[in-house]
């Protein structure tokens, strides 16, 4: 069954920006359909973690630009929003699960085990190797989480078709 998509109001602006992870961001994307568009849910975020789902859009990625500013780096992605759709509870729950449980578990679970045995490890292999291992796992796990998220978005996330309608349901 296709998801109903209705147009935005002519003067409507959709804020999609954050500062230090606090603001508005899109998460919970579906796979691209035959038109190269997909659904994404806009959340209020803190530390890039989804807090409150606000609305869901049918959109296409227009451009993605990686900006390196010396000590800071960021990726700026611009979207063309084709319309708005209703929130889907399953997508919201899956986004919370991935961002609040799975990703932190992959990164922090082994680190907690590592720190629990840090004294024994430092005695057997040396403190510097414990520190290098800790930092190495941190970077490797963050890369792995990013890779899994990208792979999920392009291969495993649900494929949803859009059905254009003139107005939101109930109006």
pLDDT at 67: 77
Average pLDDT rounded to a whole number, residues 88-94: 96
Please indicate, yes or no, if residue 150 is contained in any of the structural domains. Answer: yes
List the structure tokens of 111: 């680190």
* Domains identified in the chain, total number: 1
Residue 169 resides in a domain: no
71 pLDDT higher than 80 = no
Per-residue pLDDT reduced to its tens digit, 137-159: 999 998 999 899 989 988 889 89
* Mean pLDDT of the residues in the chain: 91
Q: In the structure, what pLDDT confidence band is assigned to residue 77 with cuts at 50, 70 and 90?
A: confident
Helix (H) or strand (E) holding 73: strand 72-85
Q: Is residue 170 assigned to a domain? A: no
pLDDT at 20: 86
Please check whether residue 28 lies inside any domain of the structure.
Answer: yes
Which residues are CB-contacts of 70 (< 8 A; sequence separation ≥ 6)?
Answer: none
Range of 144's domain? 3-164
Which band of pLDDT confidence, cut at 50, 70 and 90, is reported for residue 136?
very high
171 found inside a domain: no
pLDDT of 75 over the 80 cut: no
Separation between Cα atoms, residue 99 and residue 101, nearest integer Å = 6
CA distances from 124 to 35, 113, 119, 127 (A): 57, 16, 9, 9
User: What's the rounded Cα separation, in Å, for the pair 41 and 161?
Assistant: 15
- Does residue 79 lie in a domain region? yes
Residues of the chain above pLDDT 90, percent? 63
- pTM score of the predicted model: 0.85
**Does residue 157 sit within a domain?**
yes
> pLDDT at position 160, please?
93
Locus of tokens 């449980």: 101
pLDDT digit string (tens) for 99-117? 999 999 999 999 888 888 8
Q: What percent of the chain has pLDDT over 70?
A: 99
């Amino acid at each position: 069954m296709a998801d109903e998509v209705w147009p935005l109001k002519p003067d409507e602006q959709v804020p999609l920006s954050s500062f230090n992870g606090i603001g508005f961001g899109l998460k919970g994307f579906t796979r691209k359909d035959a038109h190269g568009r997909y659904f994404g849910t806009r959340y209020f975020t803190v530390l890039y973690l989804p807090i409150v789902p606000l609305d869901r859009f049918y959109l296409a990625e227009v451009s993605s630009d990686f900006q390196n500013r010396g000590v800071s780096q960021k990726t700026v992605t611009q979207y063309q929003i084709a319309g708005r759709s209703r929130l889907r509870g399953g997508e919201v729950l899956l986004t919370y699960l991935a961002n609040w449980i799975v990703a932190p578990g992959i990164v922090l679970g082994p680190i907690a085990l590592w720190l629990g045995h840090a004294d024994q490890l430092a005695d057997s292999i040396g403190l510097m190797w414990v520190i290098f291992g800790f930092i190495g796992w941190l970077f490797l796990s963050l890369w792995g989480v990013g890779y899994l998220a990208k792979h999920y978005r392009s291969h495993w996330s649900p494929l949803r078709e859009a059905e254009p309608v003139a107005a939101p349901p109930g109006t």
